[in-house]
């Protein structure tokens, strides 16, 4: 089948409509949950300093206006559910959500990045073609849409799973059962399984290996009709189980709802029927609308663009190959690569402010400047350490300490190994700058982790 | 319907996994589970409550000595009062790390040992006799450090000091403030001890869960905080100038009785090491402790012998402290290098405790309960 004929293929619009509703509902709940837990204040308003992504230093919390971003994000998610002004809503959602994520990289999570790029892809998908308020106002609906639109979501989900599985093929995960060997025994307070199963070494290995196999195979098991129901049961089980074990918030539910897209249109028509019957309870009248033929505008340009986007997605997780040394240790090229739950990393960073002229120095109390969460993230990631050192430099310069040099004595423990010195304590960090170049001032990792 | 079935099936799977293994494995495998509750009850029954009981007794003695002194401010009574202060202050070193329960909610620790004490605030309080000793503003005008000033710092020599309680125009005010300080320390300690004895003990011991509010997490965080802040920074780092451009010898603990500062620091390191090893406050018997917990986890992990590393580091810190001048203020002024060297040795255990131990125990230090990946 040639690409040309593939792009001409149509499929039912019901799965995408269900996906749009599921996605919007999950996002709306996520935003409300985030707000109600007081995380806007704790993460974005209370800290006096925020860690920026390289190139996005201009994205900062906006004081009380930060709430407005969350309001926009929540409202646009709600509009996505309704399918009302869909294109505008999903663009606003993408922008506001991504802005929130860019405000402070302390909170970086792979699944936030997933939401960002998924909502970006959704900008180009006709998710309001069916069962949306846009249909009602335009007085037409589309029962068929191009197949590639739904497939692009499947591809994105597939990439997330497959790469997460690929990343698990490493010697720590498979042959040392690390970090599960640290994490699972600490769940001793779980009912029924905490004090026995969670303490068993074979169980740590079983979880490591099955986790890897699950991630690698689930996209394919979901794709093939014969294994699909079984695969979906696995998805539900896996995500519910990890939700019980780890504090991973809404992500499991997002993935469970997201995986429904792999089912064929019949299932989605049933779901829509069920939603309709639910709406009837609330006395919402559902109008039958005339059906039109969907024509994707400028399909060639959009599909070419998305193809480049996906090639980019497939390549980006491998950018770590361009850097020397151990990825887990140096974390150059670690983010945006679906490396999930691979590391138990703890650190301690003691910053030394030196005045070389007076030959005086003193240590910084990190809690004067950082929240405990920021300090935790900072102490194990070189780009955080560098950015914080520059912040300290500015701060103490303004207090009259000049000339000034900043050094760090830092130790990091990775996946149960003993802590080792992390950053070269003799390097004045104020003379180093963030870039895509390898960071020469990270000390070598005194061990080896084989694998992806 | 279908999804409900699937959900039920998932729950069934989780449950069936668990019931498979509970019976036989738990008895056959000696490594199968560390008795966390036993560790908590060892902490409480053999360390925390005995420490508070002893502190309460010593503060009782302090109250008596204070009363005798106020009735009859003689050199002999002043010496007795100072001795009682020293005895209680030494026990305090064992109590400062237990910032849980009533101690936490009443800011007990901040009313007992915030130093440097604020002489201006103390003098103002004495002049006005209008104060709320529990107020946050008075945290640096109460407790052991304020007593230190009142007993050792008012004058150049003992007769000058005694004059404040005899011939001074405000002598009655000085007596009143001294009396109120001591009484308040006793009352606060009594209520913390009573709280432990009346119910809080059982609550604390039974709360074995691994969460931000679990007893082990709270205690371990307090323990590390005390080591890093109360011990390392307050007793060594701050006076040695590790956190300021210049050394600050007047920041040592017990500044007005500065030749007592080393004694207190040595008590501190003993308290820290004993807690780590689960050693009973009275006696030399060890029971379930962080050391045992780490050893147990090590059998799963086959990692390095962390508990030995930590104990070795504590021993080295003690040895180094022993080489210092009894008077830390003098030490800072005459040879601050020895002081900063001590700080560096103490610092190494911070890394072991905060990085290696917390990783092994999988205890979180940040209480912003955010999502993970």
Q: How many helices and strands (H and E) does chain A possess?
A: 18, 8
Question: Which residues on chain A are in Cβ contact (under 8 Å) with B350?
Answer: 348
Residue from the list B17, B241, B361 with its beta carbon closest to the beta carbon of A362: B241
Once rounded to an integer, what is the mean pLDDT over residues B27-51?
80
In a domain, B101, yes or no: yes
Once rounded to an integer, what is the mean pLDDT over residues B155-159?
95
The better pLDDT of the pair B29, A73 is held by A73
CA-based nearest distance A394→chain B, Å: 17
- Across the interface, whether the CB atoms of B10 and A193 are under 8 A apart is answered no
Once rounded to an integer, what is the mean pLDDT over residues B221-230?
94
The Cβ-side half-sphere exposure at B103, using a 13 Å CA radius, reads 22
* pLDDT score, position B300: 61
In a domain, B340, yes or no: yes
The better pLDDT of the pair A321, B372 is held by A321
pLDDT tens figures, A365-408 = 999 999 999 999 999 999 999 999 999 999 999 999 999 999 99
Q: What is the mean pLDDT of chain B?
A: 89
Q: Which residue of B has its CA nearest to A249?
A: B371
Is residue A193 within 8 A of residue A356, CB to CB? The reply is no
Which of the four pLDDT bands, split at 50, 70 and 90, describes residue B368?
Answer: low
Which of the four pLDDT bands, split at 50, 70 and 90, describes residue B18?
Answer: very low
- Across the interface, whether the CB atoms of B370 and A247 are under 8 A apart is answered yes
In a domain, B3, yes or no: no
**Pair (A227, A353) in one structural domain:** no
Number of domains in chain B: 2
**Pair (A125, A12) in one structural domain:** yes
Once rounded to an integer, what is the mean pLDDT over residues B19-28?
33
Domain boundary among B143, B178, B208: B208
**Pair (A197, A64) in one structural domain:** yes
Which range of residues forms the domain containing residue B74? 33-208
In a domain, B247, yes or no: yes
**Pair (B192, B263) in one structural domain:** no
Lowest mean pLDDT among A244-248, A408-412, B39-43: A244-248
CA-based nearest distance A346→chain B, Å: 5
* pTM of the entire predicted model: 0.90
CATH number, domain of B191, equals 1.20.1420.20
**Pair (A399, A311) in one structural domain:** no
* pLDDT score, position A190: 87
Domain boundary among B173, B191, B208: B208
* pLDDT score, position B24: 31
**pLDDT score of A278 more than 80:** yes
pLDDT tens figures, B162-210 = 999 999 999 999 999 999 999 999 999 999 999 999 999 999 999 988 8
Alpha carbon A280 to chain centroid distance? 37
3-state secondary structure A33-76: HHHHCCHHHHHHHCCCCCCCCCCCCCCCCCCCHHHHHHHHHHHH
Q: Which residue of B has its CA nearest to A112?
A: B373
Question: Which residues on chain B are in Cβ contact (under 8 Å) with A183?
Answer: 362
**Pair (A243, A378) in one structural domain:** no
Once rounded to an integer, what is the mean pLDDT over residues B120-139?
95
In a domain, B295, yes or no: yes
Which range of residues forms the domain containing residue A354? 344-431
* pLDDT score, position B366: 60
Lowest mean pLDDT among A225-234, A242-251, A439-448, B321-330: A242-251
Query: CA-to-CA distance for A302 and A308, rounded, in angstroms?
Result: 10
pLDDT tens figures, A143-192 = 999 999 999 999 999 999 999 999 999 999 999 999 999 999 888 888 88
| Residues sharing a CB contact under 8 Å with residue B14, sequence separation 6 or more, in sequence order | A192, A193, A237, A240, A241, A244
Query: How far lies A342's CA from each of A156, A216, A385, B277, in Å?
Result: 21, 15, 21, 32
Number of domains in chain A: 2
Which of the four pLDDT bands, split at 50, 70 and 90, describes residue B147?
Answer: very high
Query: CA-to-CA distance for A154 and A223, rounded, in angstroms?
Result: 9
In a domain, A235, yes or no: yes
Is residue B165 within 8 A of residue B175, CB to CB? The reply is yes
- Across the interface, whether the CB atoms of A347 and B355 are under 8 A apart is answered yes
- Across the interface, whether the CB atoms of B303 and A417 are under 8 A apart is answered yes
CA-based nearest distance A447→chain B, Å: 14
In a domain, A386, yes or no: yes
Q: Which residue of B has its CA nearest to A343?
A: B373
Q: Which residue of A has its CA nearest to B28?
A: A196
In a domain, A438, yes or no: no
* pLDDT score, position B370: 67
pLDDT tens figures, A190-232 = 888 888 888 889 999 999 999 999 999 999 999 999 999 999 9
* pLDDT score, position B26: 33
Residue A159: φ, ψ to 5°? -60, -45
Question: Which residues on chain A are in Cβ contact (under 8 Å) with B210?
Answer: 186-189
Residue from the list A240, A340, A401 with its beta carbon closest to the beta carbon of B10: A240
**Pair (A351, A311) in one structural domain:** no
- Across the interface, whether the CB atoms of A236 and B21 are under 8 A apart is answered no
Residue from the list A181, A362, A364 with its beta carbon closest to the beta carbon of B301: A181
Query: CA-to-CA distance for A180 and A190, rounded, in angstroms?
Result: 15
Question: Which residues on chain A are in Cβ contact (under 8 Å) with B14?
Answer: 192-193, 237, 240-241, 244
Question: Which residues on chain A are in Cβ contact (under 8 Å) with B245?
Answer: 355, 358, 360-362, 401
In a domain, B303, yes or no: yes
**Pair (A247, A166) in one structural domain:** yes
Residue from the list B32, B210, B368 with its beta carbon closest to the beta carbon of A372: B368
Once rounded to an integer, what is the mean pLDDT over residues A258-282?
94
Residue A128 buriedness (CB in 10 A; 0-12 / 13-18 / 19+): buried
**Pair (A260, A125) in one structural domain:** yes
**Pair (B45, B193) in one structural domain:** yes
Question: Which residues on chain B are in Cβ contact (under 8 Å) with A373?
Answer: 366, 368, 370
In a domain, A41, yes or no: yes
Query: CA-to-CA distance for A424 and B226, rounded, in angstroms?
Result: 28
Question: Which residues on chain A are in Cβ contact (under 8 Å) with B25?
Answer: 196, 200
Tell me: ipTM over 0.85.
yes
**Pair (B128, B238) in one structural domain:** no
* pLDDT score, position B212: 80
In a domain, A291, yes or no: yes
% of chain A exceeding 90 in pLDDT: 90
Q: What is the mean pLDDT of chain A?
A: 95
Once rounded to an integer, what is the mean pLDDT over residues B223-238?
95
- Across the interface, whether the CB atoms of A413 and B356 are under 8 A apart is answered yes
Question: Which residues on chain A are in Cβ contact (under 8 Å) with B361?
Answer: 186
**pLDDT score of B346 more than 90:** yes
**pLDDT score of A287 more than 90:** no
CA-based nearest distance B27→chain A, Å: 10
**Pair (A349, A316) in one structural domain:** no
* pLDDT score, position B332: 96
**Pair (B194, B231) in one structural domain:** no
In a domain, A283, yes or no: yes
Q: Which two tokens stand for residue B24?
A: 């036989």
Q: Which two tokens stand for residue B72?
A: 């009859």
pLDDT tens figures, B272-290 = 999 999 999 998 899 999 9
**Pair (A241, A286) in one structural domain:** yes
In a domain, A325, yes or no: no
**pLDDT score of B20 more than 60:** no
Domain boundary among B208, B238, B272: B208
**Pair (A240, A176) in one structural domain:** yes
**Pair (B271, B135) in one structural domain:** no
**Pair (A277, A397) in one structural domain:** no
CA-based nearest distance B83→chain A, Å: 35
Peptide bond into B187 cis (omega under 30): no
**Pair (B109, B246) in one structural domain:** no
């Amino acid at each position: 089948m040639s690409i040309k004929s593939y792009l001409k293929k149509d499929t039912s619009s019901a799965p995408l409509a269900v996906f749009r509703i599921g996605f919007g509902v999950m996002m709306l709940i996520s935003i409300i949950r985030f707000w109600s837990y007081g995380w806007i204040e704790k993460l974005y308003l209370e800290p006096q300093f925020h860690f920026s992504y390289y190139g996005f230093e201009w994205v900062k919390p906006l004081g009380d206006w930060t709430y407005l971003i969350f309001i926009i994000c929540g409202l646009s998610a709600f509009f996505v559910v309704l399918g009302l002004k869909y294109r505008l809503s999903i663009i606003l959602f993408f922008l506001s959500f991504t802005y929130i994520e860019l405000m402070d990289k302390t909170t970086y999570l792979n699944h936030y990045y997933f939401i960002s790029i998924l909502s970006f892809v959704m900008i180009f998908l006709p998710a309001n073609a069916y069962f949306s308020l846009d249909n009602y106002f335009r007085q037409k609906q589309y029962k068929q849409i191009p197949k590639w639109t739904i497939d692009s979501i499947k591809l994105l989900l597939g990439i997330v799973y497959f790469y997460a599985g690929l990343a698990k093929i490493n010697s720590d995960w498979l042959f040392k059962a690390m970090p599960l060997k640290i994490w699972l025994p600490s769940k001793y307070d779980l009912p029924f399984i905490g004090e026995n199963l969670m303490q068993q070494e074979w169980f740590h290995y079983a979880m490591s290996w099955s986790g890897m196999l699950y991630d690698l195979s689930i996209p394919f098991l979901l794709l093939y009709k014969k294994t699909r129901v079984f695969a979906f049961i696995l998805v539900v089980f896996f995500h519910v189980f990890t939700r019980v074990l780890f504090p991973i918030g809404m992500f499991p539910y997002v993935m469970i709802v997201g995986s429904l897209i792999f089912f064929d249109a019949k299932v989605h028509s049933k779901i829509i029927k069920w939603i309709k019957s639910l709406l009837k309870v609330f006395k919402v009248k559902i109008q039958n609308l005339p059906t039109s033929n969907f024509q994707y505008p400028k399909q060639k340009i959009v599909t070419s663009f998305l193809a480049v986007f996906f090639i980019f997605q497939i390549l980006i997780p491998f950018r770590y190959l361009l850097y020397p040394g151990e990825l887990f240790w140096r974390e150059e090229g670690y983010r945006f690569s679906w490396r999930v739950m691979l590391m138990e990393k703890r650190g301690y960073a003691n910053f030394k402010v030196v005045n070389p002229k007076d030959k005086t120095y003193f240590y910084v109390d990190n809690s004067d400047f950082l929240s405990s969460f920021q300090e935790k993230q900072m102490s194990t990631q070189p780009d955080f350490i560098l950015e914080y050192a520059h912040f300290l430099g500015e701060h103490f310069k303004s207090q009259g300490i000049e000339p000034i040099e900043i050094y760090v004595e830092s130790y990091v423990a990775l996946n149960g190994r003993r802590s080792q010195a992390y950053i070269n304590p003799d390097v004045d960090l104020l003379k180093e700058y963030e870039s895509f170049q390898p960071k020469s001032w990270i000390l070598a990792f005194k061990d080896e982790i084989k694998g992806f | 319907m279908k999804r409900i079935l699937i959900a039920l099936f998932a729950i069934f799977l989780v449950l069936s996994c668990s019931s498979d293994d509970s019976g036989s494995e738990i008895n056959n495998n000696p490594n199968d589970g560390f008795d966390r509750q036993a560790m908590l009850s060892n902490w409480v029954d053999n360390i925390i409550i005995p420490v508070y009981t002893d502190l309460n007794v010593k503060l009782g003695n302090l109250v008596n000595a204070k009363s005798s002194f106020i009735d009859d401010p003689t050199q002999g009574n002043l010496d007795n009062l100072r001795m009682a202060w020293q005895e209680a202050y030494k026990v305090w070193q064992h109590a400062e790390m237990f910032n849980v329960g009533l101690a936490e909610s009443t800011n007990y620790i901040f009313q007992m040992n915030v130093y440097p004490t604020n002489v201006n605030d103390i003098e103002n309080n004495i002049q006005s006799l209008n104060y709320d000793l529990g107020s946050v503003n008075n945290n640096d005008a109460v407790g052991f450090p304020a007593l230190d000033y009142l007993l050792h710092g008012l004058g150049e020599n003992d007769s000058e000091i005694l004059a404040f309680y005899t011939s001074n125009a405000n002598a009655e005010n000085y007596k009143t403030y001294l009396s109120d300080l001591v009484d308040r320390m006793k009352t606060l300690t009594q209520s913390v001890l009573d709280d432990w004895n009346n119910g809080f003990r059982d609550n604390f011991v039974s709360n074995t869960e691994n969460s931000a509010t679990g007893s082990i997490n709270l205690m371990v965080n307090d323990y590390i905080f005390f080591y890093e802040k109360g011990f390392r920074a307050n007793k060594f780092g701050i006076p040695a100038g590790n956190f300021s451009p210049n050394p600050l010898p007047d920041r040592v603990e017990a500044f007005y009785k500065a030749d007592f500062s080393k004694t207190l620091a040595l008590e501190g390191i003993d308290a820290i090491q004993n807690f780590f090893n689960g050693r009973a406050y009275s006696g030399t018997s060890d029971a379930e402790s962080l050391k045992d917990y780490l050893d147990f986890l090590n059998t799963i992990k086959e990692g390095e012998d962390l508990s030995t590393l930590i104990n070795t580091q504590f021993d080295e810190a003690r040895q180094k402290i022993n080489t210092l001048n009894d008077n830390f203020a003098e030490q800072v002024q005459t040879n601050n290098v020895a002081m900063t060297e001590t700080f560096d040795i103490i610092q190494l255990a911070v890394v072991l405790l905060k990085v290696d131990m917390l990783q092994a125990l999988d205890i979180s230090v940040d209480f912003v309960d955010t999502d993970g990946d």
